[in-house]
């Protein structure tokens, strides 16, 4: 199953990553099962922001409140790998255990890939690749 995203939204995420080449950028993906319709950029509060990310908890709380009030649901998140590849790392696999079935968009080198956290996943035993339909 493919997940859709608009060209403008994907370009925005790629530009955000390109603008901060020395640290991981991150944020929330909002939408439905088959479509990313919005993002919420987050402040990366990790003390190792060059190679780790941690989404600001206040954004997570605010998003949960918005969802309870009828807002667009969080279906995953995105983050960049400034010095890596556009695929989940082993560190990502450890974090994914806490949020099964969430989408993970990984950005690196001007490319974005999409993955679903899955306890039986192929990559690092945690991720299955998802087709990203841009348009």
Number of H helices and E strands in the chain, helices first, is 3, 7
20: left (phi over 0), alpha (psi -120 to 50) or beta: beta
| Whole-angstrom distance, CA of residue 119 vs CA of residue 99 | 10
Chain segment 14-42, per-residue pLDDT in tens: 999 999 999 999 999 999 989 999 999 99
pLDDT in tens, 27-85: 999 999 899 999 999 999 999 999 999 999 999 999 999 999 999 999 999 999 998 89
Encode burial over 28-45: b for 16+ CB neighbours within 10 A, e otherwise.
bbbbeeeebeebbbbebe
Provide the 3-class DSSP secondary structure of residue 41. Answer: strand
CATH architecture of 2-134: 3-Layer(aba) Sandwich (3.40)
């Amino acid at each position: 199953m493919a997940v859709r995203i608009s060209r403008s939204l994907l370009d925005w995420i790629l530009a955000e990553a390109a603008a901060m080449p020395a640290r991981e950028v991150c944020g929330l993906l909002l939408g439905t099962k088959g479509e990313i319709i919005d993002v919420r950029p987050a402040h990366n509060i990790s003390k190792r922001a060059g190679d780790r990310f941690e989404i600001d908890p206040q954004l997570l709380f605010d998003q949960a409140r918005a969802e309870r009030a009828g807002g667009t649901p969080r279906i995953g998140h995105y983050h960049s790998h400034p010095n890596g590849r556009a695929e989940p790392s082993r560190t990502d696999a450890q974090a994914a255990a806490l949020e099964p079935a969430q989408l993970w968009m990984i950005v690196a080198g001007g490319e974005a890939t999409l993955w679903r956290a899955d306890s039986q996943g192929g990559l690092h035993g945690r991720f299955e690749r998802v087709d990203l339909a841009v348009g």
